[in-house]
Amino acid sequence: MKIRLALLLTLLFSASWIAPSFGAGDRFALVIGNAKYPDAEAPLKEPINDARDVADELKRDGFSVDIGENLTGEGMRRAFERLYGKIKPGSVALIFFSGFGVQSNRQSYMIPIDAQIWTEADVRRVMVPPKTPAASSPKGGARLGAARRRWELVHC
């Protein structure tokens, strides 16, 4: 637990040094912790606490934070749409996800708590890929990084 928290704080500290270098634009964060998957034997222990800790640290660093806990697929899509609506040229957006994920055809996906995955096609139909928020942002001009390390910094 202490090692995970130290790693999270290191990532956040790194992000806080990177974000100001992009300029004085607005800074937004979407933080999601999914722990209560119906098919799991028990709720995951860390995602909610991790998400809350990360959100608190980002708020201290001047980010406007939207936090979601135990989000369904629709809840995750709405959260991303809210984030899209805030991003303007010069903004910085950070996405943090803690929960189950899966990789299919070299694409990583965040698993919402209501996902029912039985085939490969289900993955693309019901999952939320972490790179989608920046890649499909109507604002354009996004730079992506570190998605495999559970956070993504996007400069628009």
Spatial distance between the Cα atoms of 68 and 52, rounded to a whole number of angstroms: 9
The token pair at 81 is 């749409």
Q: Does residue 129 register a pLDDT over 70?
A: no
**Encoded tokens for 17:** 């040094």
pLDDT level of residue 76 (50, 70, 90 thresholds): very high
Flag whether pLDDT at 134 surpasses 90.
Answer: no
Which pTM value belongs to this model?
0.71
* pLDDT tens by residue, 42-56: 999 999 999 999 999
Q: Which residues pair with 97 in a beta bridge?
A: 32
Altogether, the residues listed in the chain come to a count of 156
To 10 degrees, what angle do helices 2-21 and 47-60 make?
A: 40
N- to C-terminal Cα separation, the chain: 34
**Mean pLDDT calculated for residue range 18-38:** 80
Radius of gyration of the chain (CA): 15
Q: What is the 3-state secondary structure (H, E, C) of 60-117?
A: HCCCEEEEEECCCHHHHHHHHHHHHHHCCCCCEEEEEEECCEEEECCEEEECCCCCCC
Strand, helix or coil for residue 58: helix
* Domain covering 2-16+25-155: architecture: 3-Layer(aba) Sandwich (3.40)
Q: Which residue has the higher pLDDT, 9 or 127?
A: 127
